[in-house]
Structures are given as structure tokens and as C-alpha cells.
Structure 1
Amino acid sequence: MKPVIGITMGDAAGIGPEIIVKSLAHKEVYEQCAPIVIGDAKLLRRAADITDTKVTIRPISAPEEAAFQLGTIDCIDLNLLPGDLPFGGISPEAGNAAFHYIKTAVALAKEKKIHAICTAPINKEALHKGGHMYPGHTEILATLTDTEDFAMMLTSPKLKVIHLTTHVGLIKAIEMINPERTYNVVKLAHDTLTRAGFNHPSIAVCGINPHAGENGLFGNGEEEEKLIPGIEKAQAEGIHVSGPHPADTLFFRAARGDFDIVVACYHDQGHGPIKVLGLESGVNITVGLKGGIIRTSVDHGTAFDIAGKNIADEGSLLEAIRSAIELAPKEE
């Protein structure tokens, strides 16, 4: 069985509908998965016309009705927006609709009717004006799944990275790291990859200081205090994890294939190597959501300035779909 991937349409005033119809015109997508769009069928039709993509938009009410055929895009049609929604501006209606696309996708994932969620971009200001006061996708997903302990994973074709901390300053990030968080993120990485079909995944934890502290030569013992106890706890449970490793060689080794995933301590430590490998191939993933729900996302915004002009590139969405296929649970 191919995994069923639910693709949310995002903010329809942006490029989401365009990159979705372009992506679902690629034969290889249907060879690897069964895609369903959650959005507004009329706006997908408009996007197909704008991009001259030869597809039929087929409104459905449930995944069981989907045809999963190249040339036909199955859309769970929530019918929330007007067909002439203006491009390129903040729309409370579009922000509200984007929230409900996500909410519907989460409900389908909870019911195991889809195996992963792939999200087109939303706009935070439109989301707020639409009545939904969340910083972004991750917080919406965490609330809808009643999840407190989650993590950001970034992937590219050669490298996977999961983060102990993300959008905080460096000093604050180091303060936030502790053995419990280290253990929890290592376990999230292990469980996510195991469900995705990896056999005994190999996990490497990156050091905080240069040379991972070099036995106390650099730093104030952060590796010994904050990382090693969490690593040892995971090892005691049979998880294949090692470290802390020096950052200056670890990412090269992981991209070479020595490890399946790297645990990065802070935002730039993990984001930098992924983006050096290619901005167009990076994918943002939320892991740890209750129910084992996987969410992947494009690594760009709504691009209001080019919406409706048929110049948006679908490459990042194709990579996000590929990652959703790879990480979708395989046990069912």
C-alpha cells in the first residue's frame, strides 16, 4: 500500500495552490504515494488554469472517495473561500481557511485515513486576523494533537537533523538544554525513524562546545552536565546513540552515511549544514506529535509578491512530499 499523504492548501492568497497543482502533475509522486489535497477545489482549478497544468480537480468529501490517478487531483473540498480571492494580500478569510485545512488534516491523521501531513505555507498575520492566534503550523499541530513534547527535524537527501532547541538566542538555548530534553529528543528521533522503517537507526549527538568540550578544555562542562546523562539513559534502553561528537566533523560524517540522523543543540548548528547542502532541498518536519503524526513542510513562505503569476517553483513541495513518504509510519 502506498502511503496516503494529506496536502493542506495553505494560504490561498499565496503560491500554495500553484505549487500543489504543479507538484501533482509529476508522475513520480503518484508512483510513490496516494496524495489528497485538503483545501478549496475552485482555487485549485484557478491555479491549474494560471499554470496551464493539464489536470482535473475532483472534489471529494472523504479519502475513501479518492481515485489517486495521475491527471486527477483529489481534493477534500471545504469550500471556504470565494473563487476570485485576491492574490498577494493579507486576507482574514484565507487565514481562517488555512487553519481549517490543517484542522481537517489532523482529524484525518488521527483516524488513520491519511499517513502523513504535508503543508503548503501559511501567513501568520492572516492567520491571526482570521481569529487563530498561533505563531505558526507547529503550535497549531501541537494544540490539535494535545502534544507538549515535540521537536523540529530538517531533512535533505543526504542529511537529517533534529534539534534540542530552535528559535531562541544562543545563551538561552544552552540554558534550556538538560539531560531530560536530550533524552527526549534522542528518543523522538529513534521512534520516528523506527516507525518509518529504519532498522535500529544510528543517532549522533552534536557537542555544544568546540571539539565537544575536549574533556573540559573548552566550555564549563556543558557536555558532561547537559548531554551525556541523556545519551547514557537512551543507550541503556537499547537506542543506538553516540556522542557528543565535535560539530566540525559530525555533519560531514552524517552526510557521508555514518549516521542516520544528527541531534543538533541549537538552531544554527543544525540549520547551517542543511542549507549548505541546498536551500531548495531542505524540508521542515514536526516530530513527536501524539499518535505518531508526521508533518512535513516547504522551506519557504507564501511568496505573496509572485502569487498568481505562474513563476513559483514547486521543488520544495516535491521534497516535502518525498520526506512525508519516507517518514510515514510503515506498520499499517
Structure 2
Amino acid sequence: MPADTALAELTERIRAARADKTPLDIRGGNTKAWYGEAPVGTPLHTSALAGISSYEPTELVVTVRAGTPLVTLEASLAEQGQCLPFEPPRFGAASTVGGMVVAGLAGPARAAVGGVRDYVLGATLLNGRAELLSFGGQVMKNVAGYDVSRLLAGSMGMLGVLCEVSLKVLPVAPATATLRFEMDEATALQKLNTWGGQPLPLHASAWWEGTLVLRLAGAAAAVQAAQATLGGEVVEVPMAAAFWDGLRDQSDEFFVGARKAVDGGASLWRLSVPQTAPPLKLSGEQLVEWGGGQRWLCTSAPAATVRDAAAAVGGHATLFRGLDKSAGVFAPLKPPLDRIHRELKRAFDPDGLFNRGRLVRGL
């Protein structure tokens, strides 16, 4: 379907929904329906709004429509030796670029390169009045006033229908190496903090069940020098690639086991804490990423116990997967942030049509 036709159909659907006061559940590939609070409303599909609008490899910028499959975009970038540096999780071939942006999730390299919002340059959005709005552009220094395009990253579709987005991309690192170390969690965290303060090309890390895996990436000379400095067991390239892809797409052993546990009544939590935080004394199984800054916890412990433990070290906890969401998926917002969320929702979606309650209950 031509982009103009798809956009016109979406616009008419929004106008009709506004007239009828019908809530809309925005869907791309529908691969993350489990994430966030329960979807509400009539499905509004964006998959017809697909295709790469423009791509300038020499400028490191791509503009792509929201319904474009993520695998399609990454394949086009790979042909030019480029990538999305933040390694967004691919929860299946149907995952879309729009879903990637509004979910705001990033993979193993997040601590080294930044998150989704750091690579959003501009966006177009259909708001709750069925108006097509444009924000930002195709260069980094183009923002005057409130940076709405980056605000869309992690918004869970609560502000409107993302139609198109311009993203900064980067060349694939010329050299990588993966190292493995046997050590307990406390030692791993101490090592990661020490190494993080040194001029080393650290790119990703993961600790689980007594094993720390470290990825180096950058210039070949820098990677080789870091290998000599750090030591450890070198992981062969095919095995390393499979490991990091499995971690990125949450298809590795930890996450497969966690999903089975969730089906049995446990919960998978995503804890965002300072990298310097000590090991958290919580029951269940943990996987530590991002130099200690992201800690996955599969547990049957009460939500209050998990959130209190995260808050005690200066972080917060999100219920990533779980059958029981009665305690809320996202950490409760402090009053000033709650007010900002509600005012933004009213400004962009005054009738509360889009993804009602997916990010903040009552919105």
C-alpha cells in the first residue's frame, strides 16, 4: 500500500475513533503485546505504513516508516556496513521500527553507546486530533525548544501514532572480541567498575551463574591491547555471536527459563540501578548486564520486596514479564513527573484515545 494511502487511512480511523470516543490499541508487529500494562481498545495497525523513505550512508542517517520490519531496516544497514548501535531486541521477524522506538528497549551495548532516544533525530506523529506533526529533522543539532522526537522513545504509544522516524546509524566496529571469566557476582561488579574507569574498548557485559562474559569492540589495535591487558578465555567468534544475539533477543537460556517460570507464576523483573550498586539480596535467579546497571531478576518474591530493594540502592524496578500485574508494571512516578506525563498526554491526545493506560495507569 502506498504510504500516502496508509497515512490517510490511519488519519480517518483516528477521526472516527475521536468522534465515537473509542480507545485505540496501536499495533505494529504485535510482538510486544505482553510488555507494559494490558492493551485496551480497538486495534489500530501500522504495518501498512512501511518502507525506507531515505538513506544516506555517508551521512549516517536513515529515515524509515514506523511499520517497517526491524529486520528489513537492519538488512539494508548491514549492506553498507552500518548498524543500529543500541542493538534493539528483535522479538520475532514481525517487530517494527515504530515498536522499537516507542518501547525504548536496547540490547547489550546500551551502557557503551546509549539508548534508543540517543539516536532519534526526528519523527512525524499523528496526534489525538488526527493532525500530522513533525519534530526534529535529520541532523543532531536541530532542536529548538522541547525535544519531542526523543520524547517518543519509550512512550509506549501514549502520545500518538508514530508514522516515520529519522535515526542516526553508525559503522559496524572493525574488530570485536569476547572474553570469559569465572567469578562470583561481587567480584564481577568490582572488576567491571574498575575496568570501566580505564581506557578500554568495553562494549557489553553479562554475568550469570558465576560467569562473566565481556565484549570488546573498536579499532583492531585497541581490541588486541585490551585482550592482553584483561586476560580471560577467548570465546570463538561463532559462539560469541550466538551468545550476544541470544542475549539481545532474549532467546538465550536465562530468558527461556524465565518465560517458563513466568508461566508457572513467577515474574521477570528489569532492575535499573547504579553500576556501583552491590549484589542485591533477592531470592530467585539474576542476570547482570550493562556493567552492573541492568539486573534481570526472575523471582516469586512480592513486588514490594523487589521495588524496595531497587530503591534502596538508588534504582527502580519494572515488571518486564508476569501474569499478575496488579502491583503495576512500571515504578510509580513521583508527583512532579506524574504531572508532566498527564499534561503531555492531554496536549497530544486530549480524548485519551491511544494505548490507554499502557505506560501510566489512568492515562
TM-score range (shorter-chain normalised) is under 0.3
Larger strand share, 1 or 2: 2
Larger helix share, 1 or 2: 1
Normalised TM-score (structure 1): 0.24
